[in-house]
Amino acid sequence: MVSAVFHTPRPLESGHAASAPAAHAHAPTAPAAQAANLARSPQGLRWDVSAWPPQVVPPLLGLLLLIGLWHLAASGGEGQFPTPGATWSAALELFADPFFVNGPSDVGIGWQVLSSLERVGLGFGLAALVGIPLGFLIGRSVFAGRMCAPLISLFKPVSPLAWLPIGLLVFQGTEAAAIWTIFICSIWPMIINTAVGVQRVPQDYLNVARVLNLSEWTILTQILLPAVLPYVLTGVRLAVGTAWLVIVAAEMLTGGVGIGFWIWDEWNNLNITNIIVAIFVIGLVGLLLEWALVSIARAFTFEEVKS
Partner 1 sequence: MNDSSYILIEGVAQRFKTQRGEFEALRQIDLRIAKGEFVTLIGHSGCGKSTLLNLIAGLTTPTSGLLLCAGREIAGPGPERAVVFQNHSLLPWLTCFENVHLGVKRVFGAGSRSAGAKSENKADLAARTHAALELVGLSHAAQRRPGEISGGMKQRVGIARALAMEPKVLLLDEPFGALDALTRAKLQDELLEIVARTHSTVVMVTHDVDEAVLLSDRIVMLTNGPSATIGEVLTVPLARPRQRVALADHPTYLQCRKEVLDFLYTRQTHVHKEAA
Binding site for partner 1 (CB under 8 A): 202, 204-205, 207-208, 210-215, 218, 222-223, 226, 302-305
In the complex, minimum distance from the CB of residue 66 to partner 1, in angstroms, rounded to a whole number: 42
Residue number with CB closer to partner 1 (228 or 278): 228
In the complex, minimum distance from the CB of residue 161 to partner 1, in angstroms, rounded to a whole number: 40
In the complex, minimum distance from the CB of residue 303 to partner 1, in angstroms, rounded to a whole number: 5
CB count in 10 Å sphere of residue 115: 22
Q: How far apart are CA 5 and CA 71, in angstroms?
A: 34
Residue number with CB closer to partner 1 (78 or 204): 204
Residue number with CB closer to partner 1 (201 or 281): 201
In the complex, minimum distance from the CB of residue 58 to partner 1, in angstroms, rounded to a whole number: 34
In the complex, minimum distance from the CB of residue 305 to partner 1, in angstroms, rounded to a whole number: 6
Residue number with CB closer to partner 1 (48 or 216): 216
Bridge partners, residue 107, by sequence: 101
Residue number with CB closer to partner 1 (122 or 296): 296
* 56: Cα separation from own chain's centroid: 23
In the complex, minimum distance from the CB of residue 179 to partner 1, in angstroms, rounded to a whole number: 34
Residue number with CB closer to partner 1 (92 or 212): 212
